[in-house]
Amino acid sequence: MPPILNAQGLSKSFGATPLFRDIAFTVSDGDRIGLIGPNGAGKSTLLKVLAGDEDADAGDVAMRKRARIGYVRQESHFAPGVTVRQVLEAALKAGHVAEAEREGKLRETSGRIGLTDLDAEAAKLSGGWRKRLAIAEAVVAAPDVLLLDEPTNHLDLAGITWLEELLNTGSFAAVIITHDRYFLENTATVIVELNRIYADGLLRVQGSYSKFIEARQAYLESQSRLEDSLRNRVRTEIEWLRRGPKARATKAKARIDNAHQLIGQLKEVSSRSASSTASIDFASTERQTKRLIELENVGIRLGDRKIVEDLSFLFANGTRVGLVGPNGSGKTTILRLLRGELAPSHGEVKKAGSLRIVYFSQARELPEKVTLRRALAPDSDSVVYQDRVIHVASYAQKFLFSSEQLNQPVERLSGGERARVLIARLMLEPADLLLLDEPTNDLDIATLEVLEESLLEYKGALVLVTHDRYMLDRVSTTVLGLDAKGSAATFADYGQWEQWFLEQNSDRPARDVEEAAKPVETQAASGSAAKKKLSYLEAREFAGIEERVEVADAKLNAARDRVDDPEVAVDAAKLTEALAALESAQHELDTLYARWAELTEKAG
């Protein structure tokens, strides 16, 4: 059977800036394609082209006859006054579903997403429920392929779990733009990275995200070897050209043409391999105060609604707290309490004197009409970063902004670029306590990894709200879990809270919170000594390193046997070769043992 979607020779530019050029992209039955790539690579634009919402500059998109496409945009908006029922009814009608079947499909779909109130106004739903409704709107008419642009943004744990189940059990193919690495690992059967570092404009790997990481590393290593080989050949040809060969001779002319082709090929490979990532480094005030903020039996009510009840928690210096809970459980409200924007209904909030708090808002408020230059440096053309005066252009480069972008208005920046601007502004403010509310939305995976490393090295206290489970797992030293009923408890890690939360919301008896939770003060104070956690690549490396050590050990024993062979011992050339092999094998084994010890310590 032909592919559902078959795009060939696609190219797209915005002005003089090319997004992608001459790429091929196919979607077949059963595909679950995770589409990743750096911010600005054109992922959302590619999805719009596949959906038919936008035309490519060149190339064609062929769709299987009578195939249906469901498309969920990055932001989910509904017209005022339109109900959930009306949204789904319109989708069923547009999908040409038989009228007799519509009511049954409508109720089945609304039940699956958990929206039981069909008369609720769609525009007034929370961000997470609007996202669920937008996905339901796309799947209710049984599409052949579902295109999802950042679907996990605004979804809580229950929403992400629901979406994973929907994708894994659905009969449709799917293309999903996401930077949620656990989500990719749990749902994708194919990973495609859209990136100009690849000769074809993208790299497509069959398998999970972990397999993609291995394949990507192998590709980059092969490109590095190709670049080295080309550089050596070009060096030889340039030296020959400098001797002034006569171009009249046929062989000499052919070699001159070949030399110029090699130089062009080297330039192309070198330009592809040149990649960069944002430089993120939060500065702490390095104050020695241990107890920064202490909550004692704090309760918060907003109107008649109880947000949290009798919460006691110590935010100690060096602690990295993951604040988790379903949508509407009060995570942002807790951050407002810590900032002093909100007073508790009862209980006490004790703060250290002259506490410096830096806050990253999920609303990402930036002055829309000002230029990037003024967003970073409002009053001059320089900023003060870590006690040094830096020109705004140099500072912007740390976050992958070109000098040409400095005079562009902020409103023209993408979601990922806006997030980088906010992080750049926060880094200018040394903090005792960092409050990060959904900082990962729209950031590409490379930037997420840099952000994680920066947070692991940050010496102050941190409170992190994010739907990115991988980042929570890696960064947080303790988890403060909320539920929708006003309860709160502390957990050793995200996995422990997840198990408790799923039990609390299943038909099985709930586990006692006190048994699941660790004592608050002990948990919080242990932050500075908490273990570091492994990245995806490190975890994969750690899983296979024992086997590699065994192979290297066998290789070393074979090299020793070779040196001890009487036939080799009397042959100077063979002995020299055998001794070199023995030294190499010993060095390889020593390096592996050192790396094994390093990973073991990091894994805890």
Question: What pLDDT is stored for residue 70 in this prediction?
Answer: 93
Q: In 3D, which of 284, 218, 271, 204 has the Cα closest to residue 27?
A: 204
Question: What pLDDT is stored for residue 509 in this prediction?
Answer: 34
Number of neighbours of residue 342 by Cβ within 10 angstroms: 16
Question: What pLDDT is stored for residue 523 in this prediction?
Answer: 38
Lookup result for tokens 């906010």: 422
Q: pLDDT digits over 503-515, tens only?
A: 766 543 333 333 3
Q: pLDDT digits over 70-102, tens only?
A: 999 988 889 999 999 999 999 998 888 888 888
Among 63-67, 216-220, 505-509, the least confident range: 505-509
Lookup result for tokens 């010890």: 597
Q: In 3D, which of 599, 361, 317, 278 has the Cα closest to residue 458?
A: 317
Q: Note the pTM of the prediction, 2 decimals.
A: 0.67
Positive or negative: CA dihedral 319, 325, 330, 332: positive
Burial of 220 (0-12, 13-18, 19+ CB in 10 A): middle
Question: What pLDDT is stored for residue 487 in this prediction?
Answer: 80
Question: What pLDDT is stored for residue 514 in this prediction?
Answer: 34
Alpha helices, DSSP H only, in 322-381? 331-339, 372-376
Question: What pLDDT is stored for residue 518 in this prediction?
Answer: 37
Q: At what angle do helices 157-169 and 494-504 cross, to 10 degrees?
A: 80
**Is residue 270 predicted with pLDDT exceeding 80?**
no
Cα–Cα distance measured from residue 263 to residue 261, given in angstroms and rounded to the nearest whole number = 5
Q: Given pLDDT bands bounded at 50, 70 and 90, which one contains residue 263?
A: low
Provide the percentage of residues in the chain whose pLDDT is more than 70.
Answer: 84
| Proportion of the chain in helix, strand, coil states, percent, rounded to 5 | 45, 20, 35
Burial of 379 (0-12, 13-18, 19+ CB in 10 A): exposed
- What are the backbone dihedrals phi and psi of residue 211, each rounded to the nearest 5 degrees, phi first? -65, -35
Contacts of 397 (CB under 8 A, 6+ apart): 403
Q: pLDDT digits over 461-492, tens only?
A: 999 998 888 888 888 989 998 887 778 888 88
**Is residue 328 predicted with pLDDT exceeding 80?**
no
DSSP 251-291: HHHHHHHHHHHHHHHHHHHHHHH----------B-----SE
Question: What pLDDT is stored for residue 45 in this prediction?
Answer: 93
**Is residue 66 predicted with pLDDT exceeding 70?**
yes
Q: Given pLDDT bands bounded at 50, 70 and 90, which one contains residue 265?
A: low
Q: Given pLDDT bands bounded at 50, 70 and 90, which one contains residue 525?
A: very low
Helix (H, G, I), strand (E, B) or coil at 172: coil
Q: In 3D, which of 379, 370, 375, 411 has the Cα closest to residue 396?
A: 375
Among 213-217, 237-241, 488-492, 569-573, the least confident range: 237-241
Cα–Cα distance measured from residue 494 to residue 500, given in angstroms and rounded to the nearest whole number = 10
Mean pLDDT of 224-238: 72
Entry field: residues in the chain? 604
Mean pLDDT of 547-561: 82
**Is residue 576 predicted with pLDDT exceeding 50?**
yes
The number of angstroms, rounded, from the C-alpha of 117 to the middle of its chain's C-alpha atoms is 34
**Is residue 271 predicted with pLDDT exceeding 60?**
no
Helix (H, G, I), strand (E, B) or coil at 423: helix
**Is residue 259 predicted with pLDDT exceeding 50?**
yes
Q: In 3D, which of 326, 323, 347, 320 has the Cα closest to residue 335?
A: 323
Burial of 411 (0-12, 13-18, 19+ CB in 10 A): exposed
Type of residue found at 100: A
Question: What pLDDT is stored for residue 522 in this prediction?
Answer: 34
Cα–Cα distance measured from residue 536 to residue 78, given in angstroms and rounded to the nearest whole number = 38
Strands 346-351 and 320-324: unpaired
The number of angstroms, rounded, from the C-alpha of 268 to the middle of its chain's C-alpha atoms is 28
Question: What pLDDT is stored for residue 268 in this prediction?
Answer: 64
Mean pLDDT of 414-434: 82
- What are the backbone dihedrals phi and psi of residue 308, each rounded to the nearest 5 degrees, phi first? -150, 150
Provide the percentage of residues in the chain whose pLDDT is more than 90.
Answer: 24
Q: In 3D, which of 167, 187, 226, 145 has the Cα closest to residue 36?
A: 187
Q: pLDDT digits over 159-217, tens only?
A: 888 899 989 998 999 999 998 988 999 999 999 999 888 888 899 999 999 899 888 88
Q: pLDDT digits over 361-396, tens only?
A: 876 677 777 898 988 888 888 888 777 888 988 888
Q: Average per-residue pLDDT in the chain?
A: 81
- Give the residues across from 294 on adjacent strands: 314, 350
Sheet strands (E) in 103-254: 145-149, 173-177, 190-194, 202-206
